[in-house]
């Protein structure tokens, strides 16, 4: 239990950054119709199910060109 208490201050900023990235990814997915790979439903599932890395994967691989 003491290990969890020691790690908790480090986990809070990681969780906050993760939530911010997930919200930004979902917002971008819903507003833009063009993706390099896949479709809207696939990217929403990836971004929300794989919370830690899903938004990063979307911004690196899925985000299409701005028009």
pLDDT of 41-56, one tens digit each?
A: 988 888 888 878 888 8
Rounded Cα–Cα distance for residues 23 and 17 (Å):
10
* Cut 0.85: pTM above it: no
Please tell me what DSSP assigns to residue 44.
H
The predicted model gives 5-30 an average pLDDT of 89
CA distances, 32 to each of 5, 14, 40 (Å):
41, 27, 9
Mean pLDDT of 4-31: 88
67 pLDDT higher than 70: no
Mean pLDDT of the residues in the chain? 84
Q: What does the pLDDT read at residue 47?
A: 85
């Amino acid at each position: 239990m003491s290990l969890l208490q020691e790690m908790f201050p480090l986990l809070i900023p990681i969780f906050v950054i993760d939530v911010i990235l997930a919200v930004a990814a979902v917002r971008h997915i819903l507003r833009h119709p063009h993706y390099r790979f896949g479709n809207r439903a696939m990217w929403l599932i990836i971004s929300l199910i794989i919370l830690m890395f899903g938004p990063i994967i979307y911004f690196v691989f899925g985000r299409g060109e701005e028009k």
